């Protein structure tokens, strides 16, 4: 049997896996649950393993054979000290290399050429490559960063609901709808938020975008603040040499209309997705270990 390569794209909402032949042709793709190594390392490991097995099965291969293949894993939160080391010790692949989700996305979007990416989903991360040198921005996780992300939008919405409930600010249809979901009991929002993960908060971001599109004042205010935070980081990316920028992630189709004209003028489509980027990096790093 020929050897295979595995690419993993893991984030706060879902984990995708691809299995490819030695020449880089993807033959199986699968998706599983969240793979947030910062907030739930055990859950992330389960999602990674499940997605890899399912990708092998989708390719018509023995699902358990995934453990015989080398893998490149692009994971959100891999830049945080200590987390990657704990994960590496438990990964089930023949050999593993963990890189940032930004690196595999950048490789997919631009190949080996210069460019920049902004990943805007449950969390946020930015990466710029100029003259072969990489510069990262953000990606520090929900607790201290991720401004403009789906998780932050959802959190901001729940904060607004509490302010409205207390009579501090006027409400809107958006806050009325969300408060109704919690039985108009602010204590239920607090109880939810106490144990909520970034993806739990992120589930409210579609309501923010929908409300803002209908000119709901609170939805507009939340999105304008999120877009301003993203634009501030894009300015730093541009100063670092990111002349062409790909917006990626689950919220990328929805944010451009909220960005400035100067930022929109720099946006370009990605050549391929992050999974393709992970496989491309796996080919570069494990070429000597696979046979076609």
Instruction: Please indicate, yes or no, whether residues 102 and 170 belong to a single structural domain of this protein.
Output: no
Pull the structure tokens for residue 28: 């199986």
- According to the model, what pLDDT value does residue 1 have? 37
Instruction: Please indicate, yes or no, whether residues 191 and 104 belong to a single structural domain of this protein.
Output: no
Instruction: Please indicate, yes or no, whether residues 276 and 246 belong to a single structural domain of this protein.
Output: no
Domain count, the chain: 2
How far is it, in rounded angstroms, from Cα 34 to Cα 76?
Answer: 11
How far is it, in rounded angstroms, from Cα 92 to Cα 155?
Answer: 35
Which residue in the block uniquely carries the two structure tokens 């490991």?
A: 45
List average pLDDT for each run of 10 residues in the chain, which is 292 residues long. Answer: 86 92 96 90 95 98 95 89 89 94 95 96 94 92 94 98 98 98 98 95 97 98 98 98 95 97 98 96 85 56
- According to the model, what pLDDT value does residue 83 have? 86
**Domain presence at residue 21:** yes
- According to the model, what pLDDT value does residue 55 have? 98
> SS3 for 279?
helix
Instruction: Please indicate, yes or no, whether residues 241 and 200 belong to a single structural domain of this protein.
Output: yes
Pull the structure tokens for residue 152: 């932050």
The predicted model scores a pTM of 0.86
- According to the model, what pLDDT value does residue 292 have? 52
> SS3 for 146?
coil
- According to the model, what pLDDT value does residue 206 have? 97
CATH code where residue 106 lies? 3.30.420.40
- According to the model, what pLDDT value does residue 38 have? 84
How far is it, in rounded angstroms, from Cα 282 to Cα 260?
Answer: 37
Instruction: Please indicate, yes or no, whether residues 65 and 85 belong to a single structural domain of this protein.
Output: yes
């Amino acid at each position: 049997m020929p050897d295979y390569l595995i690419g993993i794209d893991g984030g706060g909402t879902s984990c995708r896996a691809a299995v490819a032949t030695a020449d880089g042709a993807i033959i199986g793709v699968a998706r599983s649950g969240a793979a947030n190594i910062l907030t739930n390392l055990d859950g992330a490991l389960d999602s990674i393993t499940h997605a890899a097995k399912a990708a092998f099965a989708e390719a018509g291969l023995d699902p358990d054979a995934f453990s015989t293949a080398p893998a490149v894993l692009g994971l959100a939160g891999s830049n945080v000290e200590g987390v990657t080391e704990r994960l590496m010790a438990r990964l089930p692949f023949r050999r593993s290399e963990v890189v940032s989700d930004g690196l595999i996305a950048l490789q997919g979007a631009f190949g080996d050429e210069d460019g920049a990416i902004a990943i805007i989903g449950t969390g946020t991360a930015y990466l710029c490559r100029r003259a072969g040198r990489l510069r990262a921005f953000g990606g520090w996780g929900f607790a201290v960063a991720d401004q403009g992300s789906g998780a932050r939008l959802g959190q901001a919405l729940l904060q607004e609901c509490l302010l409205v409930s207390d009579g501090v600010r006027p409400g809107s249809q958006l806050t009325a709808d969300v408060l109704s979901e919690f039985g108009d009991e602010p204590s239920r929002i607090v109880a939810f938020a106490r144990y909520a993960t970034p993806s739990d908060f992120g589930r409210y971001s579609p309501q923010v975008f929908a409300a803002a599109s209908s000119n709901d004042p609170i939805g507009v205010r939340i999105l304008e603040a999120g877009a301003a935070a993203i634009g501030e980081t894009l300015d730093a990316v541009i100063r670092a040499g990111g002349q062409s920028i790909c917006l990626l992630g689950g919220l990328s189709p929805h944010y451009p209309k909220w960005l400035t004209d100067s930022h929109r003028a720099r946006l370009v489509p990605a050549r391929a997705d992050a999974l393709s980027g992970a496989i491309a990096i796996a080919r570069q790093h494990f070429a000597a270990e696979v046979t076609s």
